[in-house]
Structure 1
Amino acid sequence: MERSLEQTTMRKVAWRLVPFICLLYFIAFIDRVNIGFAALTMNKDLGFTSAVFGFGAGVFFFGYFLCEVPSNIILDKVGARLWIARVMITWGIISFAFAFVQGEYSFYTLRFLLGAAEAGFFPGIILYLSYWFPIRYRAGVVSLFMAAAPISVVLGSPLSSALLEMEGILGLHGWQWMFIIEAIPASLLGVMVLFYMTDRPEKAKWLADDQRAWLVTEMNEEHARKKVAAKHGIVAGMSDPRVLALALIYFGTSAGLYTLGIWAPQIIKSFGLSTMAVGFLNGVPPTIAIIAMILWARHSDKTRERTWHVVIACLVAAAGLMLAGGASSAVAVIAALTLVNIGISSAKPPLWAMPTMFLSGSAAAVGIATINSIGNLGGFVGPWAIGWIKDQTGSFTGGLMFVAALLVLSAVVTLLVARAGRRAEPASAVAS
Structure 2
Amino acid sequence: MNTVNTPTASARSVAAVNTKIMRRLMPLLMLVYVISFLDRTNISMAKDRLEADLGLSAAAYGLGAGLFFLAYAALEIPSNMIMHKVGARAWIFRIMITWGVISGCMALVNNEASFYILRILLGAAEAGLFPGVMLYLTYWFGRDMRARANGYFLVGACIASIIGGPLGGVLLQLDGMGGLHGWQWMFIIEAIPAVLLSPVILLMLPNKPQNAKWLTAEEATEITERLAREEAESLAASGTRSFMGIFKDRTVMFAIFINLAHQISLYSVTYFLPSIIAKASETAMATWLIGSLAAIPWFFGALGALFITPQATKTPNRTKRAVTVGLLAMTVGTVVGVIGGPVLGMVGFALAGLFWFVVQPIMFSVPGNRLGGLTLATGLALMNTVGITGGFFGPTVMGFAESATGNPLAGLWFAVVLLLAAVAASFFLQFDPAKKPGKN
| Class of the TM-score when normalised by the shorter of the 2 chains | over 0.9
Matches within 5 A, 1:136-285: 136-230=144-238, 231-237=240-246, 240-272=249-281, 273-285=285-297
Matches within 5 A, 1:416-431: 416-418=428-430, 424=436
Find the counterpart in structure 1 of residue 5 from structure 2.
Answer: none
Q: CA deviation at 1:238?
A: 6.2
For 1:288 and 1:250, the matched residues in 2 are separated by 19
For 2:335 and 2:12, the matched residues in 1 are separated by 48
Question: Which of 228-237 and 117-126 deviates more?
Answer: 228-237
Matched, 1:412 2:424: yes
Q: Per the alignment, do residues 148 and 2 of structure 1 end up closer, same or farther by CA in structure 2, a change over 3 Å counting? A: same
Tell me which amino acid in the other structure corresponds to 1:167.
D
Matched, 1:310 2:323: yes
Find the counterpart in structure 1 of residue 3 from structure 2.
Answer: none
Find the counterpart in structure 2 of residue 350 from structure 1.
Answer: 362
For 1:9 and 1:427, the matched residues in 2 are separated by 34
Q: Structure 2 length normalisation: TM-score?
A: 0.92
Find the counterpart in structure 1 of residue 78 from structure 2.
Answer: 70
Question: Which of 96-105 and 2-11 deviates more?
Answer: 2-11
Q: Is the 8 A contact 1:238 1:367 kept in 2?
A: no
Q: Is the 8 A contact 1:315 1:343 kept in 2?
A: no
Q: Could you give the per-residue CA deviations for residues 96-151 of structure 1, whole angstroms, max 9, x where no partner exists?
A: 11000010011111111111111100000000000000111111111111111111
Q: Per the alignment, do residues 408 and 351 of structure 1 end up closer, same or farther by CA in structure 2, a change over 3 Å counting? A: same
For 1:41 and 1:104, the matched residues in 2 are separated by 14
Tell me which amino acid in the other structure corresponds to 2:85.
K
SS of residue paired to 2:175? coil
Q: CA deviation at 1:414?
A: 2.2
For 1:140 and 1:422, the matched residues in 2 are separated by 21
Q: CA deviation at 1:423?
A: 8.9
For 2:232 and 2:430, the matched residues in 1 are separated by 24
Tell me which amino acid in the other structure corresponds to 2:351.
L
Find the counterpart in structure 2 of residue 41 from structure 1.
Answer: 49
Q: CA deviation at 1:10?
A: 1.4
Q: Taking every aligned residue pair, what percent have the same amino acid on both sides? A: 35
Q: Is the 8 A contact 1:232 1:360 kept in 2?
A: yes
For 2:125 and 2:439, the matched residues in 1 are separated by 43
Computed over aligned residues only, the root mean square deviation of the Cα atoms, in angstroms, reads: 2.1
Tell me which amino acid in the other structure corresponds to 1:82.
A
Q: Is the 8 A contact 1:237 1:364 kept in 2?
A: no
Matches within 5 A, 1:125-144: 125-144=133-152
For 1:117 and 1:397, the matched residues in 2 are separated by 31
Q: CA deviation at 1:224?
A: 2.6
Find the counterpart in structure 1 of residue 38 from structure 2.
Answer: 30
Structure 2: unaligned runs, 5 residues or longer:
1-8
Q: Is the 8 A contact 2:246 2:253 kept in 1?
A: no
- Indicate which of 86, 91, 103 corresponds to 1:83: 91
How many residues end up aligned between the 2 structures?
Answer: 427
Question: Which of 301-310 and 42-51 deviates more?
Answer: 301-310
Q: Is the 8 A contact 2:68 2:120 kept in 1?
A: yes
Tell me which amino acid in the other structure corresponds to 1:311.
T
Q: Is the 8 A contact 1:238 1:363 kept in 2?
A: no
Matched, 1:2 2:15: no
Question: Which of 251-260 and 218-227 deviates more?
Answer: 218-227
Find the counterpart in structure 1 of residue 6 from structure 2.
Answer: none
Question: Which of 409-418 and 96-105 deviates more?
Answer: 409-418
Q: Per the alignment, do residues 144 and 425 of structure 1 end up closer, same or farther by CA in structure 2, a change over 3 Å counting? A: closer
Q: Per the alignment, do residues 99 and 419 of structure 1 end up closer, same or farther by CA in structure 2, a change over 3 Å counting? A: closer
Q: Is the 8 A contact 1:325 1:396 kept in 2?
A: no
For 1:417 and 1:251, the matched residues in 2 are separated by 15
Question: Which of 204-213 and 362-371 deviates more?
Answer: 204-213
Matched, 1:54 2:51: no
Q: CA deviation at 1:422?
A: 10
Q: CA deviation at 1:93?
A: 0.9
For 1:426 and 1:315, the matched residues in 2 are separated by 24
Find the counterpart in structure 2 of residue 379 from structure 1.
Answer: 391
For 1:220 and 1:417, the matched residues in 2 are separated by 24
Find the counterpart in structure 2 of residue 115 from structure 1.
Answer: 123
Q: Could you give the per-residue CA deviations for residues 240-279 of structure 1, whole angstroms, max 9, x where no partner exists?
A: 4544332221111111111122111111111223312101
- Indicate which of 319, 323, 327 corresponds to 2:332: 319
Q: Could you give the per-residue CA deviations for residues 172-202 of structure 1, whole angstroms, max 9, x where no partner exists?
A: 0000000000011112212211101111112
